[in-house]
Structure 1
Amino acid sequence: MALVSRREKFFLINGLVCLVQGLEGRCTTVDLRNESCVTGKIEQVDGFMNIVMSEAVFIDTRGAEYPFDSFFIHARNIRYVHIPDELSIVPTIKNQLKKMCPRSARVELDPKKSWKARKLIQRQKETVKEVQQLKKEKEMQQIKGCQDAKNKP
Protein backbone atom coordinates (compact mmCIF):
# COMPACT_ATOMS: atom_id res chain seq x y z
CA MET A 1 0.00 0.00 0.00
CA ALA A 2 1.67 3.20 -1.17
CA LEU A 3 0.26 6.32 0.41
CA VAL A 4 -0.06 9.16 -2.04
CA SER A 5 -0.35 12.08 0.34
CA ARG A 6 -0.40 13.10 3.97
CA ARG A 7 -4.09 13.87 3.59
CA GLU A 8 -4.80 10.30 2.50
CA LYS A 9 -2.85 8.93 5.47
CA PHE A 10 -4.80 11.26 7.77
CA PHE A 11 -8.12 9.85 6.51
CA LEU A 12 -6.82 6.30 6.87
CA ILE A 13 -5.81 6.76 10.49
CA ASN A 14 -8.57 9.08 11.71
CA GLY A 15 -11.61 7.62 9.98
CA LEU A 16 -13.24 4.28 9.36
CA VAL A 17 -11.41 3.81 6.08
CA CYS A 18 -9.14 1.34 7.89
CA LEU A 19 -12.19 -0.84 8.63
CA VAL A 20 -13.11 -0.96 4.95
CA GLN A 21 -9.46 -1.72 4.16
CA GLY A 22 -9.75 -4.68 6.51
CA LEU A 23 -12.36 -6.05 4.12
CA GLU A 24 -9.85 -6.36 1.27
CA GLY A 25 -9.98 -9.87 -0.14
CA ARG A 26 -13.52 -10.49 1.15
CA CYS A 27 -16.83 -10.54 -0.67
CA THR A 28 -19.32 -7.92 0.46
CA THR A 29 -22.00 -5.52 -0.72
CA VAL A 30 -21.62 -1.78 -1.13
CA ASP A 31 -24.81 0.30 -1.28
CA LEU A 32 -24.57 3.38 -3.47
CA ARG A 33 -26.22 6.77 -3.11
CA ASN A 34 -28.44 6.24 -6.16
CA GLU A 35 -30.23 3.28 -4.49
CA SER A 36 -28.22 0.71 -6.44
CA CYS A 37 -25.63 -1.68 -5.02
CA VAL A 38 -22.51 -3.61 -6.00
CA THR A 39 -21.66 -7.06 -4.68
CA GLY A 40 -18.22 -8.56 -5.17
CA LYS A 41 -14.73 -9.09 -3.81
CA ILE A 42 -12.96 -5.96 -2.54
CA GLU A 43 -9.53 -5.80 -4.15
CA GLN A 44 -8.29 -2.38 -3.08
CA VAL A 45 -9.34 0.53 -0.87
CA ASP A 46 -7.40 3.78 -0.90
CA GLY A 47 -7.18 6.45 1.79
CA PHE A 48 -10.21 8.31 0.47
CA MET A 49 -12.34 5.10 0.54
CA ASN A 50 -12.41 4.67 -3.23
CA ILE A 51 -13.02 0.95 -3.75
CA VAL A 52 -11.94 -1.40 -6.52
CA MET A 53 -13.95 -4.64 -6.66
CA SER A 54 -13.43 -7.76 -8.76
CA GLU A 55 -16.01 -10.29 -9.92
CA ALA A 56 -18.62 -7.64 -9.16
CA VAL A 57 -22.32 -7.63 -9.87
CA PHE A 58 -23.95 -4.21 -10.19
CA ILE A 59 -27.64 -4.20 -9.28
CA ASP A 60 -29.48 -1.09 -10.41
CA THR A 61 -32.61 0.45 -8.88
CA ARG A 62 -34.90 -1.73 -11.00
CA GLY A 63 -33.17 -4.93 -9.88
CA ALA A 64 -31.37 -5.65 -13.15
CA GLU A 65 -27.99 -7.33 -12.62
CA TYR A 66 -24.87 -6.47 -14.62
CA PRO A 67 -21.68 -8.53 -14.07
CA PHE A 68 -18.24 -6.85 -14.20
CA ASP A 69 -14.74 -8.31 -13.98
CA SER A 70 -13.53 -5.13 -12.28
CA PHE A 71 -15.61 -2.30 -10.83
CA PHE A 72 -14.44 1.05 -9.42
CA ILE A 73 -16.57 2.88 -6.86
CA HIS A 74 -15.82 6.52 -6.16
CA ALA A 75 -15.95 7.35 -2.44
CA ARG A 76 -18.60 10.04 -2.78
CA ASN A 77 -21.02 7.50 -4.30
CA ILE A 78 -20.83 5.13 -1.31
CA ARG A 79 -23.75 5.16 1.08
CA TYR A 80 -23.08 2.00 3.09
CA VAL A 81 -20.58 -0.86 3.18
CA HIS A 82 -21.96 -4.14 4.52
CA ILE A 83 -19.63 -5.66 7.12
CA PRO A 84 -19.74 -9.49 7.19
CA ASP A 85 -21.06 -10.96 10.46
CA GLU A 86 -17.98 -13.12 10.97
CA LEU A 87 -15.70 -10.06 10.98
CA SER A 88 -14.84 -8.54 14.36
CA ILE A 89 -14.80 -4.79 13.92
CA VAL A 90 -12.48 -3.58 16.71
CA PRO A 91 -9.71 -6.16 16.12
CA THR A 92 -9.87 -5.44 12.38
CA ILE A 93 -9.37 -1.72 12.97
CA LYS A 94 -6.51 -2.37 15.41
CA ASN A 95 -4.78 -4.72 12.94
CA GLN A 96 -5.05 -2.19 10.13
CA LEU A 97 -3.66 0.59 12.32
CA LYS A 98 -0.75 -1.65 13.34
CA LYS A 99 0.01 -2.30 9.67
CA MET A 100 0.02 1.42 8.91
CA CYS A 101 1.92 2.59 12.00
CA PRO A 102 4.25 -0.09 13.35
CA ARG A 103 5.59 0.59 16.84
CA SER A 104 9.19 0.66 15.64
CA ALA A 105 8.39 3.72 13.53
CA ARG A 106 6.85 5.63 16.42
CA VAL A 107 8.93 8.06 18.41
CA GLU A 108 9.41 6.79 21.95
CA LEU A 109 9.12 9.33 24.73
CA ASP A 110 12.11 9.97 26.97
CA PRO A 111 11.63 7.82 30.08
CA LYS A 112 13.28 10.47 32.29
CA LYS A 113 10.78 12.52 34.19
CA SER A 114 10.92 16.28 34.00
CA TRP A 115 11.47 18.41 37.09
CA LYS A 116 7.80 19.31 37.13
CA ALA A 117 6.74 15.64 36.96
CA ARG A 118 9.19 14.64 39.72
CA LYS A 119 7.93 17.46 41.94
CA LEU A 120 4.32 16.44 41.30
CA ILE A 121 5.04 12.80 42.20
CA GLN A 122 6.88 13.86 45.36
CA ARG A 123 3.98 16.11 46.41
CA GLN A 124 1.53 13.27 45.75
CA LYS A 125 3.56 10.89 47.95
CA GLU A 126 3.64 13.50 50.73
CA THR A 127 -0.12 13.94 50.49
CA VAL A 128 -0.68 10.18 50.71
CA LYS A 129 1.52 10.02 53.84
CA GLU A 130 -0.41 12.89 55.43
CA VAL A 131 -3.74 11.21 54.70
CA GLN A 132 -2.50 7.93 56.21
CA GLN A 133 -1.27 9.80 59.30
CA LEU A 134 -4.65 11.53 59.69
CA LYS A 135 -6.43 8.16 59.41
CA LYS A 136 -4.19 6.68 62.12
CA GLU A 137 -4.83 9.64 64.42
CA LYS A 138 -8.58 9.34 63.85
CA GLU A 139 -8.49 5.61 64.63
CA MET A 140 -6.49 6.28 67.80
CA GLN A 141 -9.06 8.88 68.90
CA GLN A 142 -11.90 6.41 68.26
CA ILE A 143 -10.11 3.70 70.23
CA LYS A 144 -9.37 6.15 73.06
CA GLY A 145 -13.02 7.29 73.05
CA CYS A 146 -14.22 3.67 73.27
CA GLN A 147 -11.87 2.97 76.19
CA ASP A 148 -13.02 6.10 78.02
CA ALA A 149 -16.65 5.06 77.52
CA LYS A 150 -15.91 1.62 79.01
CA ASN A 151 -14.12 3.10 82.04
CA LYS A 152 -17.01 5.42 82.96
CA PRO A 153 -19.56 3.72 85.23
Structure 2
Amino acid sequence: MAAPGLFTKTERYNSAKSLVCLLQAMAGRPTIIELRNELTVCGTVAMVDSNMNVTLTKSTLRKLNDESVEYEQLFIHGNQIRYVQMPDDFNVSVLLERQVKGLLGGGEVTKRKRMSRARLNRQLEEKAIVRAYKLGKGRATNT
Protein backbone atom coordinates (compact mmCIF):
# COMPACT_ATOMS: atom_id res chain seq x y z
CA MET A 1 0.00 0.00 0.00
CA ALA A 2 1.32 3.47 -0.81
CA ALA A 3 2.07 5.60 2.18
CA PRO A 4 -0.47 8.45 2.29
CA GLY A 5 2.18 10.80 3.71
CA LEU A 6 4.20 10.64 0.51
CA PHE A 7 1.56 12.28 -1.66
CA THR A 8 -0.48 15.45 -1.52
CA LYS A 9 -4.19 15.28 -0.80
CA THR A 10 -4.96 15.95 -4.46
CA GLU A 11 -2.66 13.15 -5.63
CA ARG A 12 -4.25 10.70 -3.18
CA TYR A 13 -7.73 11.73 -4.38
CA ASN A 14 -6.77 11.38 -8.06
CA SER A 15 -5.19 7.97 -7.40
CA ALA A 16 -8.32 6.77 -5.63
CA LYS A 17 -10.50 7.90 -8.57
CA SER A 18 -8.46 5.93 -11.13
CA LEU A 19 -6.97 2.46 -11.47
CA VAL A 20 -3.55 3.75 -10.46
CA CYS A 21 -4.48 2.69 -6.93
CA LEU A 22 -4.62 -0.90 -8.18
CA LEU A 23 -0.99 -0.65 -9.26
CA GLN A 24 -0.14 1.08 -5.96
CA ALA A 25 -1.65 -1.89 -4.12
CA MET A 26 0.97 -4.08 -5.79
CA ALA A 27 3.79 -2.45 -3.79
CA GLY A 28 6.19 -5.13 -2.59
CA ARG A 29 4.97 -7.73 -5.08
CA PRO A 30 6.80 -9.06 -8.15
CA THR A 31 5.30 -8.22 -11.53
CA ILE A 32 6.00 -7.97 -15.25
CA ILE A 33 5.55 -4.64 -17.03
CA GLU A 34 5.44 -4.41 -20.81
CA LEU A 35 6.60 -1.08 -22.21
CA ARG A 36 5.44 0.77 -25.30
CA ASN A 37 8.80 0.22 -27.01
CA GLU A 38 8.32 -3.60 -26.87
CA LEU A 39 10.67 -4.07 -23.88
CA THR A 40 9.66 -6.13 -20.86
CA VAL A 41 10.65 -5.44 -17.26
CA CYS A 42 10.37 -7.99 -14.46
CA GLY A 43 10.81 -6.80 -10.90
CA THR A 44 9.33 -5.99 -7.51
CA VAL A 45 7.13 -2.88 -7.32
CA ALA A 46 8.68 -0.47 -4.82
CA MET A 47 6.54 2.63 -5.36
CA VAL A 48 3.90 4.03 -7.72
CA ASP A 49 2.89 7.70 -7.79
CA SER A 50 -0.37 9.26 -8.95
CA ASN A 51 0.96 9.64 -12.53
CA MET A 52 1.59 5.87 -12.68
CA ASN A 53 5.37 6.36 -12.58
CA VAL A 54 6.73 3.07 -11.23
CA THR A 55 9.90 2.34 -9.28
CA LEU A 56 10.98 -1.30 -9.40
CA THR A 57 13.68 -3.02 -7.34
CA LYS A 58 15.72 -6.07 -8.32
CA SER A 59 14.49 -5.76 -11.87
CA THR A 60 15.48 -7.32 -15.17
CA LEU A 61 15.00 -5.50 -18.47
CA ARG A 62 14.52 -7.84 -21.44
CA LYS A 63 15.27 -6.42 -24.85
CA LEU A 64 13.83 -7.55 -28.19
CA ASN A 65 16.84 -9.77 -28.96
CA ASP A 66 16.35 -11.64 -25.63
CA GLU A 67 19.28 -9.79 -24.12
CA SER A 68 18.76 -9.09 -20.40
CA VAL A 69 20.09 -6.29 -18.24
CA GLU A 70 19.68 -6.39 -14.46
CA TYR A 71 19.11 -3.28 -12.34
CA GLU A 72 19.00 -2.90 -8.58
CA GLN A 73 16.46 -0.09 -8.98
CA LEU A 74 14.61 1.05 -12.12
CA PHE A 75 12.26 4.00 -12.69
CA ILE A 76 9.61 3.78 -15.43
CA HIS A 77 7.58 6.79 -16.60
CA GLY A 78 3.87 6.08 -16.53
CA ASN A 79 3.32 7.11 -20.13
CA GLN A 80 5.75 4.38 -21.28
CA ILE A 81 3.73 1.54 -19.72
CA ARG A 82 1.62 -0.51 -22.10
CA TYR A 83 0.55 -3.40 -19.87
CA VAL A 84 1.05 -4.58 -16.27
CA GLN A 85 0.65 -8.27 -15.52
CA MET A 86 -1.05 -8.99 -12.20
CA PRO A 87 -0.09 -12.10 -10.20
CA ASP A 88 -2.66 -14.92 -10.17
CA ASP A 89 -3.12 -14.71 -6.39
CA PHE A 90 -3.86 -10.98 -6.57
CA ASN A 91 -7.39 -10.45 -5.17
CA VAL A 92 -8.32 -7.27 -7.04
CA SER A 93 -11.54 -6.35 -5.23
CA VAL A 94 -10.16 -6.71 -1.68
CA LEU A 95 -6.86 -4.95 -2.38
CA LEU A 96 -8.54 -2.20 -4.39
CA GLU A 97 -10.99 -1.46 -1.57
CA ARG A 98 -8.19 -1.47 1.03
CA GLN A 99 -6.03 0.81 -1.12
CA VAL A 100 -8.81 3.37 -1.70
CA LYS A 101 -9.58 3.49 2.02
CA GLY A 102 -5.90 4.00 2.76
CA LEU A 103 -5.56 6.79 0.20
CA LEU A 104 -8.63 8.64 1.43
CA GLY A 105 -7.94 8.16 5.12
CA GLY A 106 -10.58 5.49 5.64
CA GLY A 107 -13.45 7.68 4.48
CA GLU A 108 -15.62 7.73 1.46
CA VAL A 109 -14.98 9.96 -1.51
CA THR A 110 -16.93 13.12 -0.82
CA LYS A 111 -17.64 15.97 -3.16
CA ARG A 112 -17.18 19.48 -1.96
CA LYS A 113 -20.42 21.39 -1.62
CA ARG A 114 -20.62 24.41 -3.83
CA MET A 115 -21.17 27.58 -1.89
CA SER A 116 -23.44 30.24 -3.32
CA ARG A 117 -21.83 33.56 -4.12
CA ALA A 118 -24.09 35.36 -1.61
CA ARG A 119 -23.09 33.00 1.19
CA LEU A 120 -19.41 33.34 0.28
CA ASN A 121 -19.67 37.15 0.31
CA ARG A 122 -21.45 37.03 3.67
CA GLN A 123 -18.66 34.87 5.15
CA LEU A 124 -16.01 37.22 3.76
CA GLU A 125 -17.80 40.23 5.27
CA GLU A 126 -18.01 38.48 8.65
CA LYS A 127 -14.29 37.73 8.56
CA ALA A 128 -13.53 41.34 7.63
CA ILE A 129 -15.62 42.59 10.57
CA VAL A 130 -13.86 40.24 12.99
CA ARG A 131 -10.45 41.26 11.63
CA ALA A 132 -11.35 44.96 11.92
CA TYR A 133 -12.59 44.38 15.46
CA LYS A 134 -9.30 42.70 16.44
CA LEU A 135 -7.19 45.40 14.78
CA GLY A 136 -9.25 48.18 16.37
CA LYS A 137 -8.76 46.57 19.80
CA GLY A 138 -12.37 46.20 20.66
CA ARG A 139 -13.90 48.77 18.31
CA ALA A 140 -15.63 47.62 15.15
CA THR A 141 -14.97 49.97 12.26
CA ASN A 142 -16.59 50.05 8.86
CA THR A 143 -14.22 50.00 5.91
Using the size of structure 2 for normalisation, the TM-score is 0.68
- Using the alignment, how far apart are the partners of 2:71 and 2:106 within structure 1? 40
| Bigger Rg over Cα | 1
1:100 match: 103
Match of 2:37 among 28, 34, 38: 34
Runs of 4+ aligned structure 1 residues displaced above 2 Å come to 8-11, 102-107
Matched, 1:3 2:27: no
- Using the alignment, how far apart are the partners of 2:32 and 2:103 within structure 1? 25
CA deviation string 1:22-41 (max 9, x = no partner)? 11000110000001110011
CA drift at 1:106: 7.4
Matched, 1:70 2:77: no
Choose between structure 1 and 2: higher helix proportion. 1
CA drift at 1:104: 5.8
The unaligned stretches of length 5 or more in structure 1 are: 108-153
The unaligned stretches of length 5 or more in structure 2 are: 111-143
Between the two proteins, the alignment pairs up a number of residues equal to 106
Task: Read off the aligned partner of 1:14 and give its amino acid letter.
Answer: K
Task: Read off the aligned partner of 2:63 and give its amino acid letter.
Answer: D
1:58 match: 61
CA RMSD of aligned residues (A): 1.8
Task: Read off the aligned partner of 1:3 and give its amino acid letter.
Answer: F
- Using the alignment, how far apart are the partners of 2:109 and 2:78 within structure 1? 30
CA deviation string 1:83-120 (max 9, x = no partner)? 0000111111101011112346877xxxxxxxxxxxxx
1:88 match: 91
CA drift at 1:5: 6.1
Match of 2:25 among 19, 22, 26: 22
